[in-house]
Amino acid sequence: MQFQRKPILIPAVALGTLAFLYIPLLAVASFSVNNSRFGLTWHGFTWKWYLELFQNEQILEAVGNTLLLGLVSTAVATVVGTALAIGMSRFPWSKKTSAFFEFNLYMPVITPEIVFAGALVIAFASLRYVSSAFEPGMLNMIIGHVTFQVAFVALVVRSRLAAFNNEIEEASHDLYATNWYTLRKVILPMLTPGIVSGAMLAFTLSLDDFIISFFTAGPTSVTLPLYIYAEVHRGITPKIHALSTVGLLLTIVLVIASQKITNSFNEKERDDA
């Protein structure tokens, strides 16, 4: 009897890829609790670098700007992206119009971010002739983040719409429900997992965005990625490692929360079915 041997190359490549991705992150986390201010020598375990984060006014201001930017831009992008996804899927557009929308929907996703940021600089420079509100600062950053977040939210919501059971919507209309009632009571509740996932993705992208923030930020709207970039030029310190570790943990929490919410909605749908 001959036994088939599993190829060793495939699991080896998989483990090597995971190690390449996560060992640097583990190294940053370990340096954040190292008692040594400089160098790679281990001098004992300490939490003092994390405690100093909460005593640094510049870091606290950067955290506030980052959360404000992420929450506001995510809220706007979620509403606009959801409406865009529903409009593209439910309105009877012509083939040419649908192709035009598809092209513009994918453009922010596939366009290099540096090109996108340069285009925003030109756009805001033109808008400053109309109003001084478009000076570099938080408003420009929010608009800049929304422009690329909308596409990601719309794509996630559209994937949810593709699995949507149209018979439920048709049944709602057969029972003389208005379009607005069907939207509020049927479509949006069914789309909630996709909307939540799209919002989580948009918020995560906003938290770690650097290029668009760099091109649109003002002197009083420094975010955490911009602060870390400025500090790295002076030398990498354990506080930077601690700050990066906190950002990593926040991202992990958001991903886990998104999966939990999506799974809970899927289980509820299976139970209802």
Reported as half-sphere exposure (CB side, CA atoms, 13 A), residue 251 has a value of: 15
Q: Tell me, what's the pLDDT at 39?
A: 61
Query: Is the separation of the CB atoms in 203 and 254 below 8 Å?
Result: yes
Q: Tell me, what's the pLDDT at 238?
A: 81
Q: Is 141 left (phi over 0), alpha (psi -120 to 50) or beta?
A: alpha
Residues of the chain with pLDDT under 50: 1, 3
Q: Tell me, what's the pLDDT at 181?
A: 76
Q: Tell me, what's the pLDDT at 207?
A: 87
What is the C-alpha to C-alpha distance for residues 101 and 95, in angstroms, rounded to an integer? 10
| pLDDT tens-digit map of 42-95 | 777 888 888 888 888 888 898 899 999 999 999 999 999 999 998 888 777 888
Q: Which domains does the chain have, with CATH numbers?
A: 44-272 (1.10.3720.10)
Q: Tell me, what's the pLDDT at 214?
A: 92
pTM of the model: 0.81
Q: Tell me, what's the pLDDT at 1?
A: 47
